[in-house]
Amino acid sequence: MIRWLTSPAWDQVAHYRRLWLYAIAILVMIILVAPTLIVIPMSFSDSKYLTFPPTGWSLGWYRTFFESSTWLMATKTSLLVAVFTVLVATPLGTLAAYAIHESRLAAMSGVHAVLLSPMMVPVIMVAIGLYFIYARLELLNTKLGLVLAHAMLAIPLVVITVLAGLKTYDMNQERVARSLGAPRWLAFWTVTLPQIRPAILNAVLLSFLTSLDEVNVALFISGGENSTVTRVMFNSLRDEIDPLITVVSTCLVLVSVTIVLVVQLANRKSHQ
């Protein structure tokens, strides 16, 4: 094995000799997706309880979901908050990443650390802090409050992603554009932005999913008609365990997968 690792690259390793490697890769992938995939057949169950494998098939729980105003309202809240989180976090995070990348100020490393700090603190602490601040600002149980909180959680991801994109970008291009007569914002818009587009699309994806999947903060600061899906799921799990929850999960998986695919497709297009 050591000899295999140290042998030069041109020494081709036969496929059968790395079967173990493929086996590990497949195992890891199964472990990653199995919990997600197991939920989907469970959502088509006709049982009153969570069972796997289901004893019989039915769309009954889907009907229950689409007839429940609580669930529909929560879904609408979650999607709306996720979209606005993207709209707030992506531009702000991108501008911050640009500043961190371009500035030669010594204080900029401090700014960088502050922007990443929501990732370093346990989310539950962030949630508790937000609860007390929002109580004073009367932002509890509002969509605005949720968007601001989720944007705070998403901005570090946007900053990291866009910074990585800027690292492989040649800033001289923007300088050339400026020397050729474009004001700085226009040079950024016409030259820099199209080239860091894959990073920005990934940032969009990450902030959307961060908001959609978020539970901790939502538990503390959302409620009433502005409850998120994740919060309603959590409540319903506490009261009763029925297959409705798997219907919601399946829908969330569907939304996430769609978004990931759209971003992947857009990235591939911008590569060409």
Partner 1 sequence: MTSLPISIRSLTKAHGALTVLDGVDLDVRSGEFMTLLGPSGSGKTTLLMVIAGFIRPSSGQVLVGDKDMTRVPPHRRDLGMVFQNYALFPHMTVGENVAYPLKRRSYSKAEIADKVNAALKIVQLEALSERYPSQLSGGQKQRIALARAVSFDPRILLMDEPLSALDKKLREHMQIEIRDLHDRLGITTIYVTHDQREALTMSDRIAVINEGRIAQVDAPAALYEKPKNLFVADFIGDSTILPLHREAGRLMLNGAPIHPGCAPEAIGTAPHLVIRPEKLEVLRDGQLPAGQNLIEGALRSALFQGDSVLVQVELADGAVLSLRQPGRHNLPEPGHRIRLGLPIADTVVLAGA
Nearer CB in complex with partner 1: 174/214: 174
Q: How far is the CB of 175 from partner 1 (least distance, A)?
A: 6
Amino acid at 12: Q
Q: How far is the CB of 260 from partner 1 (least distance, A)?
A: 24
- Joined together, the tokens standing for residue 18 give 């790395």
The residue ranges that bind partner 1 (CB under 8 A) are 170, 172-173, 175-184, 186-187, 190-191, 194-195
- Name the DSSP class of 15: G
Q: How far is the CB of 104 from partner 1 (least distance, A)?
A: 8
Rounded Cα gap, residues 188 and 74, in angstroms? 38
Nearer CB in complex with partner 1: 156/165: 165
Nearer CB in complex with partner 1: 143/197: 197
- Joined together, the tokens standing for residue 21 give 């490697």
Rounded Cα gap, residues 169 and 251, in angstroms? 37
Rounded Cα gap, residues 2 and 50, in angstroms? 48
Residue 181, SS3 per DSSP: coil
Rounded Cα gap, residues 147 and 201, in angstroms? 19
Q: How far is the CB of 149 from partner 1 (least distance, A)?
A: 36
Nearer CB in complex with partner 1: 76/175: 175
